[in-house]
Amino acid sequence: MPPAAFKTAELTLHGHRVGYRTGGSGPALLLLHGIANSSETWEHVAPLLCEHFTVIAPDLLGHGTSATPRGDYSLGAHASVARDVATALGHERVTVIGHSLGGGIAMQFAYLFPERCERLVLVSSGGLGREVHLVLRAAALPGADWVLPLLTSGRVIGLGRGLGALLQRVRLKPDSDLEVLGRGFASLDNDGSRKAFLHTVRAVIEPGGQRVSALDRLGLAALLPTLIVWGERDSIIPIAHGEAAHEAVPGSRFERFAGAGHMPHDDDPRRFADLLADFCATTEPARLTPDHWQPLLDGGRA
């Protein structure tokens, strides 16, 4: 049988266009992509997931086919839009899956809306440590507003060749994840998307590294089935972040993809789809209340 369809669509939320892709039937998976990316990042694995699940993959505001409004591009704002997309499509409860920046948004989703979250899956996730690729740290610099249009021009970008040449000039060898960054920069082809990118980057990254960390709150996820997936050769966010998160979340499951970089779900879609199906089949969906954190917070009072 051919893979199930993964179709594009759009809706309007709070006056703004939000693009998304969806397909399949069954328990709902909410897939959240990384920075300067879109729902397209799931195009190889989503049809496989659609064989067992309803898949919802929104384009975050400022990304893909979604609008690029002036406003809030924080993790909480992105999590709220993700919740609203799921609600608009009739899904009250989801397994939330986040890649890179999307991992930080997924953790924020689980923290803000625990009653909506059945499971949490983090894929090469941001928000778990300081280290992050130099190019993303550079985007947090004040002068990036002027440099970014040059990096994203048609003359410079060609499957990462322009970015690779730039890195070579400053004697930094392009790594295996360079194409991921190159495609992301190539997508910033208008003023609105560039501004949205910079607002999003600066909400979570500073020149010294990631400025947002969930490590101090991961223990609160002990009641939420959690799967952490990482590529062993990830050069954008190191696998050590995933290992530390696994230690911090009691009962979590950690899976490393040998030979994979920052996109393990794209490097081996079949393994990723089978892993996710097994994780969902062998864990009971959480049934949490909005205030279920309260006893844990009360226990931390001095």
Say whether 189 is catalytic. no
Q: Residues 202, 220: one domain?
A: no
Walk across the sheet containing 117-123 and list its strands.
Answer: 7-13, 16-24, 54-58, 28-32, 94-99, 117-123, 226-231, 253-257
Single residue among 206, 236, 251 that ends a domain in this structure = 206
Contact indicator for 249, 226 with CB cutoff of 8 Å: yes
pLDDT value at 91 more than 80 = yes
Per annotation, catalytic residue among 44, 262, 266, 268: 262
* Of 256, 260, 252, 254, residue with least CA distance to 286: 252
Say whether 235 is catalytic. no
Task: Count structural domains, the chain.
Answer: 2
Per annotation, catalytic residue among 234, 266, 267, 268: 234
Please give the helix or strand (H or E) that residue 233 lies within, else none. Answer: none
Say whether 262 is catalytic. yes
Per annotation, catalytic residue among 38, 66, 80, 100: 100
Domain that holds residue 164: 134-206
Q: How confident is the model over 156-211, as pLDDT tens digits?
A: 444 444 555 555 454 444 456 777 777 777 778 788 888 888 889 889 998 899 99
Section 286-297 average pLDDT: 77
Q: Domain holding 74: CATH number? A: 3.40.50.1820
Question: What distance in Å separates the CA atoms of residue 76 and residue 298, rounded to the nearest whole number?
Answer: 23
Single residue among 175, 206, 237 that ends a domain in this structure = 206
Sequence-separated (6 or more) residues with CB below 8 Å from residue 294: none
Question: What distance in Å separates the CA atoms of residue 107 and residue 96, rounded to the nearest whole number?
Answer: 9
